[in-house]
Structures are given as C-alpha cells and as structure tokens.
Chain A
C-alpha cells in the first residue's frame, strides 16, 4: 500500500496548472490516489459485464474489443433518457464559479479536479461525437477523440469525485457534476470498470443483505454484544426483535453501525432510545443495509438494492419505515426511490406513535429519518434528558453532503445536539449546511489504498474542524452518516488529532434518562462520565 505523506508535506499544495493545454497534459496515475479494480467474482454475483481479473495499475485493462462502441452507444442512450445530462453537456458557460469549490481540487491542486474540467472530460467526447460543430471541427470546437487514455482518465477522475454536489450550489446554472460523475461511472461499469471497494459491498448487499456481508447470526450476535454493554452502563437489559411480522415500524440503518466503532455507539443509542419509548419496531436481517453502494455503480444497481428495503417492509407488514443515521441512503430514498420502486402505497404515511406527529414530508417514501423522529420527540417534551452527561464534550456538527444537499436536513440534528449537549459550536458558515465540505471519502472512496486522496479531499473539512478546535476547544465531531463515522476518525487523526467522531444518537443516549436505570458512571464508550471519574465500576 502506498505510504501517505506527512500532513506537513501534504498541505503544501501546488495550484499552478501546467503550461500546456489540458488536453495535451497527460494523466499520471499516482499511487495513493486511486483504488484497486474490481475482482471478477463481485461482478459475477450481480451479473455485470466483463468479469475478469485485472489491475488498475496494468497497461491492459482487458476490455471487450468493441469497448468504444459500447461507450458511445451508452452516452447516446443516456442523452435521450436524462434531460439533465443533455443540458449539463450543453449549457456550461465556463464562468469558473465552481472551479475552486470542490474539496478534491482544493486538496490536490489538480485542474482536472475542478468541477468544470471534470465535466469537460466527458463533454469533450460528447462534442466530438454528438454535436455538429464537434463532428466537423473536432478539437477546434472543443471536441476530443475517445481513446483508451481518455477512458483511463475518466476512471481516474470519476473516482476522485465523491458525488457531493457542492459545485452545483455555486454554479449559476445548477450544473451538477455529481450527476455527470454518476453517468460516467455507470458507463465505465458497462466495461467492468468498477473499483473493488465499491463492487465488493454491492455484491455483499445483493447476496447477503448488507455491504459488510454480515449474516443473520452475526448481526444478532453483534447486537447482543452491544446489549451487554448497555446493561453494564444502565443496568437495563434490552430485548429487541428481529424479522418480526406485524411490528408497526421497520428500522433500517447502515451496516457500518452494526460493526465498526464509533458507529456501534450510535447503534447502542438507537437501541436505548427505542427501548425507552417502548417502540413497536423490528430489525431485519434481510433488509440489513440502509446505505446503497449500488448508487455509486449504476442507477439499475441502486434500484435493485433499494427494492429490498421495501420488499421486506411488505413481507413483514409494517406500517412505515424508520431509517438510521446515513448519508447517501437518504439521497436515494429522498430523490430516487419513488420513481424506481414506488409508490410505496402498501405502507402508511408515517405517524409517530409517541407524539402523534404526521411526517407528511415522507408521504411518498413512507420512510422517516431518525433525526426527524427524535427532534420531534424532544420538541414535544417526550424525552427526559440530562445534557450534563455530555459536559466533557465540545461538539461541532458536520453536515453530510447527502442529507444536507440531498434532502435539506439542517435543523433537526442541530436541534437535537443543542438539547443533549451544553457545548455546541458551529464551523465557519461557508463550510456547513448546503455549503458543507465532503468528508473526502464519500461515494465509495473510503478504501485503504487511496488514502492520500482521502486525506487531500478531506483537507478543507478538517481545516474547518481545526478552526473550532483551536478557537473553542472542540473535541467531538458529530454527524448523521455512517461513511462519516468510518472515514472521519482517520481524517481527524491525520489533520486534527484530539478530535473524536460521534453519531448524534450516541449523544442522545448518553443524555437520555431511562426508567429504572442505575446511576450512570460511564458513557456509551465505557469511559467515565464527567464528575464520575473515581466511581466504582469504572
């Protein structure tokens, strides 16, 4: 694995572009900036084209002979299918407003990571083959031949974009590079050009129900383990149910919460909250994934994975679905699900059984974000909270790209945090809410072999955290996304050591005063609560 340079070196970013025009500047594949190519078995599992063993470091990517035809045909098909795509290919006026808004450009200084140029990688091919001036004048009209090198360039740069949509906020025309990247990746997948890190979870989710490949007995045993810890902390034994028909609510969260710290603490948070409410809900070991790596592969794959959640809701006969703290899961649910797998009219418009609030915003998808659910509980005074238990924490909140720009959840998590913590500080305005910076690892970029890319792409986010860390002593970075919980700890250790990462429901459960609990001396991480450092049991 490539060694990641030290932060001192990495922060010296060279923004000077090459003197040559971009089309004449060859692409250099840099170790640490790209992922392994997918192994054949993952593509076979989902019936995707061109399964074979290959390496993204090799010259020969073992493509089908007619690869060029496949690509051009695929562009043509999508130009017809998606009006947005044709529009985005045509209307850019190269004003440059987006150029310095991408965290991957800010972190690498590589001009091809400017959103406008990332789009141009595909747009130049579009011009050459699909517009009259480009067909006749070629390069003079901004057109470019589709060559093997161009294809590799696409692969390299479409997997350096986290589909975060930050650029689209600043573009006067709303050109959304994320959608261009998505189409680019979809086309690359027609040639078997996925990354191992994305294709593996997709195959796992398809075959076993979740990205990690947790089998039903593994899920149960992991949750049992968390229940033991909860009992140690609160003295309360919780008994959740699995695959229970007739439950009112199906709960679905990303599988990362069932496996890796600090996601597991978030998961303990859900378990404690739902127990305290006496919620009539069930886990599923079949729909055991909220996230959707299919979305980083192709629309079709995303749809196939998303369908499982609704099939399970139908099978179990629940009234509605509650979804955990996840990012891209919500982009898929909020913006695509209804057209792909809707209408979900076999479910009811969600109503909180505790407060009676009706979630009309979820009337199409019948799926409520747990942050909305909990914010409503607090607002209606249904929770007994002791925020002093979080007094050792100075918290800031990272808006995940997908919940922020994909569905506009800004207030709910902040409202919750302010009710369960006494010390909350915002990062600078240009780096939060709809202008939030990506963690640098979204859209399937959170692998190990591309660590330099992740640290570079996460640099602007880390920089903003560092600001509140220096200024207010912030030591906890809260979020509502499982990719964040997996990716940000590494980013913080690298750029801002001393700042830890948490899901919002971990903070909730720390503050939650539960009926019949013993006096708490430990937080969910089994660390002593403030003021309880000497207490027994610690």
Chain B
C-alpha cells in the first residue's frame, strides 16, 4: 500500500493518494494535501471540507453534490450555492478534490 510522508510521519494512502484511515486526518495534513493539489485554502475552502467531514461522520459517504451545493449556499450566501462556485474553489471537482483534502475515501460516484 502506498504511503505519503508529512512531518516525518508516514500515512497510508490509496493508489490515487486518498487517505486510507479517516482518523489520520488533521488540519495540517489537510493543508499539506491541498498544497500537493495546488489548492490555496481559504475560509470558503474550509467550509466545504468541514461540511464534508461532518456529513461523512453521519452518513458514511460523501454527500450528493446537490446537498453540498445547497449547504454551501446556506452557509455562504445564495449566490455561492451553485456547482460553478464549487468548481472555482476546487477545480479538480468538489467531489474528487475536496474529498481528498477532507481525508474521505475516493468518491465512487455512480456505479
């Protein structure tokens, strides 16, 4: 199993670089993954990440994009409640990239 090194510690990741253990996650590590992804974390970015983690705790899966969009609209104002805004924050995709930074497993999307 591949690993990722951060501050002298090894973390298990899958073949696409997603953390394997949810509990390995912390804010510093998230910041590090974001840097590798080329994402500069602002408050808005953290809003998404925090929501994803809360949601995952409750439902054991990342939310439908629709739910994320609505939630961000609620938290940051209706003009930001759309997929376009989420893609501006996470050009690699709100599901794929934001989940990676939030330490969630790679989203399976629809099978």
A positions within 8 Å CB-CB of B: 1, 36, 39, 53, 55, 196-197, 200-201, 211-215, 217-218, 221-222, 225, 229, 254-256, 259-261, 263-264, 291, 293, 444, 446, 448-449, 482-483, 485-486
- Identify B15's interface contact among A55, A201, A482, CB under 8 A: A55
Interface residue tally on B, bucketed by range? 10 to 19
The answer on a CB contact under 8 Å between A212 and B61 is: yes
Smallest CB separation, B57 vs chain A (Å) = 12
Smallest CB separation, B18 vs chain A (Å) = 11
Q: Cα distance A211–B60 when bound, in Å? A: 13
Q: Cα distance A448–B108 when bound, in Å? A: 9
The answer on a CB contact under 8 Å between B61 and A1 is: no
A-B contact list, 9 entries, CB within 8 Å? A211-B111, A212-B61, A213-B61, A222-B64, A259-B110, A261-B66, A264-B66, A449-B15, A482-B110
Q: Cα distance A255–B111 when bound, in Å? A: 8
The answer on a CB contact under 8 Å between B108 and A211 is: yes
The answer on a CB contact under 8 Å between B66 and A225 is: yes
The answer on a CB contact under 8 Å between A215 and B110 is: no
1/0 per residue, CB under 8 A from A, across B69-80: the answer is 010000000000
Contact residues in B for A221 (Cβ distance below 8 Å): 59
B20 closest partner in A (C-beta): A39
B1 in the interface, Cβ–Cβ < 8 Å? yes
Contact residues in B for A254 (Cβ distance below 8 Å): 110
A490 closest partner in B (C-beta): B109
**8 Å CB interface, B48-87 against A:** 59-61, 64-67, 70
Contact residues in A for B61 (Cβ distance below 8 Å): 212-215, 218
Further contacts, 4 of them, CB under 8 A, given A212-B111, A256-B111: A1-B16, A201-B108, A211-B111, A215-B61
Contact residues in A for B110 (Cβ distance below 8 Å): 212, 254-256, 259-260, 263, 482-483, 485-486
Q: Which of A197, A212, A217, A446 has the most CB of B within 10 A?
A: A212
The answer on a CB contact under 8 Å between B59 and A293 is: no
Q: Cα distance A509–B65 when bound, in Å? A: 22
A487 closest partner in B (C-beta): B110
Contact residues in A for B59 (Cβ distance below 8 Å): 215, 217-218, 221
